[in-house]
Amino acid sequence: MPSTRDIRRRIKSVKNTRQITKAMELVAASKMKKAQQAALAGRPYADILADMLAAIAARVDESFHPFLVERPVKTRGILVVSSDKGLCGPLNSNVFKLVADIKTPAKFVVIGRKGAQFLARTKRDLVADFPVHDRVPFAEVRAAAEFIVKQFLDGAVDTIEVVYARFKNTLVQEPILRPILPLKSLKQFIDGLQEDAAAKAAENDPREILFEPDVHQVLNGLLPAYVNRIIFQLVLSAKASEHSARMVAMKTAKDNATKLLGDLTLEYNKARQAAITQEILEIAAAQFSS
């Protein structure tokens, strides 16, 4: 049986661990809340973009824009969104399983240190990696989005797809591979938007709308902005998933530490009681021997 000194040392160590995991749980909960608020704050901007795209949809030739032209897929372009740190349960490993299932030729762009390490370890074609802080600044996400879009326009890749952990709720984060480009059609793209009602209202507007300088140049400005916005929303969802998974993992660790602390305290009391009983028996034996 361990000595009472050893048990006290373990109790102190477990108490320190519980304090750390509790602090990390609270920090992750705060960051998750901020990521959710940021995602909601961007919805009015997405509504306006969707409304403008719907107004244009019936007035343009879709073969005009490269985002709307399908071509033979020789090399896929994959944007992998992962975390910079660990301690977030199976979140990253679930995302990496989707990446491992990609057997066709592909080039990868990564957001997050863990993803870059995985791709380097598995010797996949990593083109670039981008850091994005927990606050998820749009400028940092836009740099990654514009890079992979440039690869698509230059013909280096024939698709743009995003692998990320979609935030469903605090306990569920679902790994998703979502196609971004090319768009099958502008109308289907608009119909698939979450703000469907606003988009259809604009599309069915019978009024004559004038576009300056012309409708195709307006589309040239809107589509890249909307693609950047979509990728930004996906990164926000992935960050919320990361913080949520870390919060749950730290809560589990804290609860396990509390349970272990109870077991150690019971073991310490038993050892202490056994030592006291042994001392009493030794004193009694000494009295009888005298």
Q: Enumerate the active-site residues.
A: 88
Q: Would strands 159-167 and 76-81 be described as parallel, antiparallel, or unpaired?
A: parallel
CA-based angle 113:114:117, to the nearest 5? 85
Sign of the Cα pseudo-torsion (120, 126, 127, 131, in order): negative
Residues in the chain: 290
E strands, the chain, in order: 76-81, 106-111, 126-130, 159-167, 173-181
Amino acid identity at 106: A
- List, as one string, the DSSP characters of 173-241: EEEEEEEEES-S-HHHHHHTSS-HHHHHHHHT--S----SS-HHHHHHHHHHHHHHHHHHHHHHHHHHH
If we measure between CA atoms, which residue out of 89, 106, 60 comes closest to residue 220? Answer: 60
Return the bridge partners of 237, or none. Answer: none
